[in-house]
Amino acid sequence: MTIHLLRLAVGADSLDSMRAWRAGNQIDWQGRRVVPTWTRRPPSRQTELLDGGCIYWVVKGFIRCRQRFVGFDLVTAPDGETHCTMLMDPELVETVAVPKRPFQGWRYLKPEDAPADLQGAGGDELPPHLLAELRALGLA
């Protein structure tokens, strides 16, 4: 059964800034290019995340895009602490913008609660922030 993660894109001002950061921070892992991100504690539902799960990124108060999970690695830092490296596919897929309040860390996201991909979702003619506001008001 698939599950997703929801995480704040701390420091990202836009989708373009996320794309630029990810393009410059890819690594090779088991023969493929991936984008790493780190967290202190590994998700307990890794099997479900690797079964088609994605990390949905919150950018400036809106869920805006997703990346597919590729794998996980545990890494020991020089201070002796163990951290989890979450490895994602480099492709960012834009989603329908959905407002989301700030939170710490990450949260699991059920597939039925995940926003649709933007391409083919309709409403492409409106800027994402306006479309998200209309959806928040129940008007779109």
pLDDT recorded at residue 126: 67
Predicted local confidence at residue 120, as pLDDT? 59
Q: Which pTM value belongs to this model?
A: 0.82
Q: What is the pLDDT of residue 121?
A: 53
Distance CA 109, CA 101 (A): 14
Give the domain ranges of the chain: 4-136
pLDDT at 130: 75
Return d(Cα 43, Cα 47) in angstroms, integer: 9
Q: Are 35 and 101 in contact (CB under 8 A)?
A: no
Amino acid letter, 30: Q
Q: Average pLDDT for consecutive 10-residue bins of the chain (140 residues)?
A: 94 90 92 93 94 95 95 92 94 92 91 88 63 70
Closest to 105 in 3D by CA, of 10, 4, 2: 10
* Residues recorded for the chain: 140
- What is the per-residue pLDDT for 132? 74
